[in-house]
């Protein structure tokens, strides 16, 4: 059980990508077992490997962990990326939750029915520009340090970098008014483990387009 964590998910970002990012940033090698057919998913369920019948699932240290946040919390704790005390962890959790909310809002756009996409995209841009990015720019300004919490790398720095890259994919001009966030993005991107994950050939996943999503939905009968 001292082997590499094994990640069970589709070959896509979805709810596993933030876990991939965190493991990579921690310098932890991991193995992936992609779910490629409904039978693959059904077997995981039948074998009792998925509490709540849901993925992502990560096999780590003898556990079969489901639920993205539970997995992230465990990895962050194990690899000392979760702050030095209770109060730092509270800030990390608060910031992480905001980031996960925005990540989901952006990530859902590609799943969105066409008649809703324009309105949802406008909302996502508004929230990015007027709520989330200002909040984090303000954190960086308030303490003038290189990392969001405790002046050292924690999970929330990784989560924020990930979402900034999605924002950039989405509409690069959204980052323009936020110089401290742009500097943060460069800084965290330059960390050795992160730099490696950003290189082609890493286990990072590309965005899917609407057609690929549609095909996956048919294959897995997701509504």
Q: Which residues contact a copy of itself (rule: CB under 8 A)? A: 51-53, 61, 63, 65-70, 73-74, 77-78, 86-87, 89-91, 93-98, 101, 131-132, 135
Among residues 54 and 203, whose Cβ is nearest to a copy of itself?
54
Cα–Cα distances (Å) from 51 to 43, 165, 214, in that order, read: 13, 31, 26
Q: Cα(98)–Cα(115) distance, rounded to whole angstroms?
A: 27
Least gap, CB of 128 to a copy of itself (angstroms): 12
Between 110 and 135, name the residue whose CB sits nearer to a copy of itself: 135
Judged by beta carbon, residue 90 or residue 122, the one nearer a copy of itself is 90
Binding residue per annotation — 54? yes
CB of 112 to a copy of itself, least distance (A): 17
Measured from the Cβ of residue 60, the count of other Cβ atoms closer than 10 Å reads 21
Alpha helices in 26-81, H assignment, sequence order = 38-46, 68-78
68 in a labelled binding site: yes
Determine if residue 203 is labeled as part of a ligand binding site.
Answer: no
Q: Annotated binding residue at 45?
A: yes
Task: Consult the annotation and say whether 221 binds a ligand.
Answer: no
CB of 69 to a copy of itself, least distance (A): 6
φ, ψ dihedrals at 8, nearest 5°: -110, 115
**What is the bridge-based pairing of β-strands 31-34 and 57-60?**
unpaired
Helix (H, G, I), strand (E, B) or coil at 113: coil
Binding residue numbers for glutathione = 9, 45, 54-55, 67-68
């Amino acid at each position: 059980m001292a082997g590499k964590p094994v990640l069970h998910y589709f070959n896509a970002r979805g709810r596993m990508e933030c876990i991939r990012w965190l493991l990579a940033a921690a310098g932890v090698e991991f193995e992936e077992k992609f779910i490629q057919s409904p039978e693959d998913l059904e077997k995981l369920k039948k074998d009792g490997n998925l509490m709540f019948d849901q993925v992502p699932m990560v096999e780590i240290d003898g556990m079969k962990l489901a639920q993205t946040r539970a997995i992230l919390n465990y990895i962050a704790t194990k690899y000392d990326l979760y702050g030095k005390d209770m109060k730092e962890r509270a800030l990390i959790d608060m910031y992480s939750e905001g980031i996960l909310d925005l990540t989901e809002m952006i990530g859902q756009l590609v799943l969105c029915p066409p008649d809703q996409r324009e309105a949802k995209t406008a909302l996502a841009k508004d929230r990015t520009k007027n709520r989330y990015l200002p909040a984090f720019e303000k954190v960086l300004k308030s303490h003038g340090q290189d990392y969001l919490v405790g002046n050292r790398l924690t999970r929330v720095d990784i989560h924020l970098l990930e979402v900034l890259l999605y924002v950039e994919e989405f509409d690069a001009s959204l980052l323009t008014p936020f110089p401290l966030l742009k500097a943060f993005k460069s800084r965290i991107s330059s960390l050795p483990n992160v730099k490696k994950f950003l290189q082609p050939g890493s286990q990072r996943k590309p965005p899917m387009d609407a057609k690929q999503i549609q095909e996956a939905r048919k294959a897995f009968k997701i509504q």
